[in-house]
Amino acid sequence: MPIIRPISDLRNRAHEISELCQQENQPVFITKNGQGELVVMSREHFEQMQARLDLYEKLSVAEAEESGGERPIPHRAVMITQRRRLRARRS
């Protein structure tokens, strides 16, 4: 279930919203006059999303290469590369 808070909470209770983002590891949706305005999330959640998007992009490229007849990269090699990148981002 999404966490939705009014924009006044962002101004008056920023620390509370920050804690929510950290504890729940999901975004908090901020509304203004009842309409969606912003999304606030922890840095960790953002980095996980970015890594997932990067993986989807690489999978798309791999699918295109495979359909083009090029030799695919072995799964093990891809996973090793991705783990190294994730570790480097966390450092």
Residue 1 has which token pair? 């279930």
How far, in Å, CA of 30 to CA of 10, rounded? 8
Question: Residue 55 pLDDT more than 90?
Answer: yes
Please check whether residues 84 and 50 belong to one and the same domain: yes
> 22-49 b/e with 16+ CB inside 10 Å = b?
eeeeebbebbeeeeeeeebbbeebeeee
- Say how many domains are in the chain: 2
Q: Sign of dihedral through CA atoms 34, 36, 40, 45?
A: positive
Please check whether residues 33 and 65 belong to one and the same domain: no
Residue 14's domain spans which residues? 3-41
Share of the chain above pLDDT 90, in %: 74
**The pLDDT of residue 70:** 64
Alpha helices in the chain (DSSP H): 7-12, 14-24, 43-67, 75-90
Summarised one tens digit per residue, pLDDT across range 30-53 is 999 999 999 999 999 999 999 999
